[in-house]
Amino acid sequence: MTEGSGGTIGVGMVGHAFMGAVHSHAWRTAHRFFDLPMVPHLAVLGGRDLGRTKAAAAKYGWASVQTDWRELVASPDVQIVDICTPGDSHCEIAIAALAAGKHVLCEKPLANTVAEAEQMAAAAAEAATRGVRSMVAFNYRRVPALAYARKLIEDGRLGEIRHVRALYLQDWLSDEQAPMTWRLRKDKAGSGSLGDLGAHIVDATQYLVGDTLTGVSALTNTFVHKRPTEGGGDLDDVTVDDAAVFFGRFGNGAVATYEATRFALGQKNGMSVEINGSLGSLRFGFESMNELYFFDGSQPADEAGFRRILVTEPTHPYVGAWWPPGHLLGYEHTFTHEVVDLVRAIADGTDPVPSFADGLQVQRVLEAVEQSAENGSSWTEITK
């Protein structure tokens, strides 16, 4: 792998919508707050429409544009390929980039199917033998409060993990006249709330617990089956789930419950997790992302209770590079932390996490959820 000139590393990003905007900010920002061994250079932005791609490049600070992702991957100015496209193109782009010797950051979920994710994980494993690194963009792992929660669990502060609860609730599709988007088409998105939101809470809980789900029982539902096209007029078929509810079991015996929906009125980005153990409990809600609630079961009953930890101290994960205590971080910081961890791993010659293998495991959970729902909520084992 050849670095760019002057200690830089060139980035080529495919896609420039919502995720493209926040990823661009992360690539621009990372080296300005964290000491990085290489400075990311926003070399090439890829998009299908030349005019829109040029406008996005000018807005977000990219040096050049491409309308053919293959040309972007082949560019000598690009050492990292960042994939921010719908899931139906992840597999082809990632495998081509890895084969070309380019490091890869891929948005979640890793793919639309387990078969595609298996191909990607195999390609990543082979590329790693050549020093080529890959990572899935599960950004919630980089929330300082959740990273600190992971440390508390690893340190044994919760004891034996017994019960996990996770919700991811949004409301942006509650209006049945909201127009059709690619996120409502199975051929583009793979699934609906399950892949869009459920993938995040599956990964976050497995990360926190340090274990993986072994089986699930699930149901899914579609509330609005047709939606107007973006230009109005004709109605188009919705081919994904609007909500997914499932419970599961971890390898260590802990039980878990999950809910994901984009039909929860009043919930804008209501991602929340609660972990109950034999010695204590943790509670987190993303809309108050700088706060973590901890119940220490060793305290006497007359003074016990959940206590609020404001995760803004310089000793908390990632926080020392930012602001003084109490000066809060936001959504965009999680992506900056993601970029920091990836660039450092590339420089160190280590495999970053979450890996494509981790993304494949989440994809297997999503597939098991769909299979269970299709089979009347029957218990479905998750394949290895």
- The answer to whether residue 341 sits within a structural domain is yes
pLDDT digits (tens, 9 = 90+) for 61-78: 999 999 999 999 999 999
pLDDT digits (tens, 9 = 90+) for 87-116: 999 999 999 999 999 999 999 999 999 999
Query: What CATH number corresponds to the domain at position 93?
Result: 3.40.50.720
Of the three residues 89, 114, 140, the one that is the final residue of a domain is 140
User: Which pLDDT band holds residue 233 (cuts at 50, 70, 90)?
Assistant: confident
Pair (96, 29) in one structural domain = yes
Of the three residues 124, 140, 156, the one that is the final residue of a domain is 140
pLDDT, residue 2, reads 43
Pair (116, 167) in one structural domain = no
Domain count, the chain: 2
Pair (94, 189) in one structural domain = no
Pair (29, 113) in one structural domain = yes
Pair (290, 212) in one structural domain = yes
Supply the pTM of this predicted model: 0.96
Pair (266, 343) in one structural domain = yes
- The answer to whether residue 2 sits within a structural domain is no
Pair (157, 14) in one structural domain = no
pLDDT, residue 231, reads 75
User: 202 versus 233: which is more confidently predicted?
Assistant: 202
User: Which pLDDT band holds residue 3 (cuts at 50, 70, 90)?
Assistant: low
User: Which pLDDT band holds residue 1 (cuts at 50, 70, 90)?
Assistant: very low
Of the three residues 140, 157, 174, the one that is the final residue of a domain is 140
Query: What CATH number corresponds to the domain at position 233?
Result: 3.30.360.10
Q: What is the 3-state secondary structure (H, E, C) of the chain?
A: CCCCCCCEEEEEEECCCHHHHHHHHHHHHHHHHCCCCCEEEEEEEECCCHHHHHHHHHHHCCCEEECCHHHHHHCCCCCEEEECCCHHHHHHHHHHHHHCCCEEEEECCCCCCHHHHHHHHHHHHHHHCCCCCEEEECHHHHCHHHHHHHHHHHCCCCCCEEEEEEEEECCCCCCCCCCCCHHHCHHHHCCCHHHHHHHHHHHHHHHHHCCCEEEEEEEEECCCCEEECCCCCCEEECCCCCEEEEEEEECCCCEEEEEEECCCCCCCCEEEEEEEECCEEEEEEHHHCCEEEEEECCCCHHHCCCEEEECCCCCCCCHHHCCCCCCCCCHHHHHHHHHHHHHHHHHHCCCCCCCHHHHHHHHHHHHHHHHHHHCCCCCEECCC
Range of the structural domain that residue 71 is part of:
8-140
